[in-house]
Every structure is written in structure tokens, then in C-alpha cells.
Amino acid sequence: MAEEVQTPVEIEATAEAAAADEPATTTSDKAEITSEAPKPAKRKKSKRSVASGQLHILATFNNTIVTFTDSKGAVLTTASAGGCGFRGSKKGTAYAAQVAGDKAAQAAKQAYGLSKVDVYISGIGQGRDAPIRVLSGLNIGVESITDVTGVPHGGVRPKKARRV
């Protein structure tokens, strides 16, 4: 006749039960007991309405990232060409930037009721102006367009002098 092997946790549970003159409960029984506890009711999240905000466009040679924020800079929605299904060199195209802009703009308008934006463009890629054109189709007004692309102060280190 084979003996039943107990794990150290079960041995400890039976020892505690014997000391308290209660029936032995294993760890699986304890998990069931705790899972039956009532959960507190969740409050419904109130929708935040943002009438005017900012649109930040980062256009690099390899990708375009479109971000809608409120007037303080807190992110509402974001989309990128890579996130919209474009891969490889297609991510850097103007069409990919247009699709990313459309996706982010629709989400911002639907979730937050965005109607006016200030546009901030950074970078030198092909997708600089395509997301702005999308806004007119969705009735989102453009208040201002600002180019915030970084300018080098002194630039990179020059090549060494050529010896002839």
C-alpha cells in the first residue's frame, strides 16, 4: 500500500489544524475562500472634454509620430506610421504620416471632442505637413503652426584637414 506524500505547505496546514481542532484546509481551499470576497464597485470614469489642444508632429526620415495633447501638454492620443501597419522604408512616406494623423485625430475628436489645435512640427522628414491636411477633413481648426525643429549651434565636428 503506497503512502500519500504531502508537501511542506500541507504538513504545516495539518499541524495548525490539529492544534486548533479544526478540519485541515489546504492552500487551494484558502484561495477559494479569499476569491469569494465581494469586490468594491468601480466608479464610472467621467469623460474629460478638451475643446482646444496641441498637435505635435515628429517627422524623421524613418517614421512619423503624431501626438495630440491638451493645452498643458498632457498626452491625449498618439499614433505613428509604424503603429498603423507600415514597415521599412514605407514608414517615412507622406502617406504613412497622413494615415497616422487620421488615426490619432479621429481618436482625439471622438474621445475628447477636440475642435481646435496649435500645431508644433519637429523634424525634417516627408511627413511634416500631411497630418495637418487631415485636420481640415475632420473639422478640427488649426490656430497656429510652429516649427520647433532643433537647430545645431556649431554643428558636428569637421573632418580632419587633408594632407597633400
Per-residue confidence of the chain (164 residues) as pLDDT tens digits? 566 776 666 666 666 666 665 555 555 555 555 556 677 777 766 677 888 999 999 999 999 999 999 999 899 999 999 999 999 999 999 999 999 999 999 999 999 989 999 999 999 999 999 999 999 899 999 999 999 999 989 989 999 999 98
Residue-range definition of the domain harbouring residue 135? 54-147
Q: Examine residue 126 and state whether it is found in any structural domain, yes or no.
A: yes
Residues 80 and 64: beta-carbon distance below 8 Å: yes
Domain assignment of residue 107, yes or no = yes
Is 0.85 surpassed by the pTM of this model?
no
DSSP state of 89: G
CATH number at residue 116: 3.30.420.80
Q: Is residue 163 part of a domain?
A: no
Q: Which residue in 142, 50, 45 sits closest to 101, CA to CA?
A: 142
Q: How many domains does the chain have?
A: 1
In a domain, 32, yes or no: no
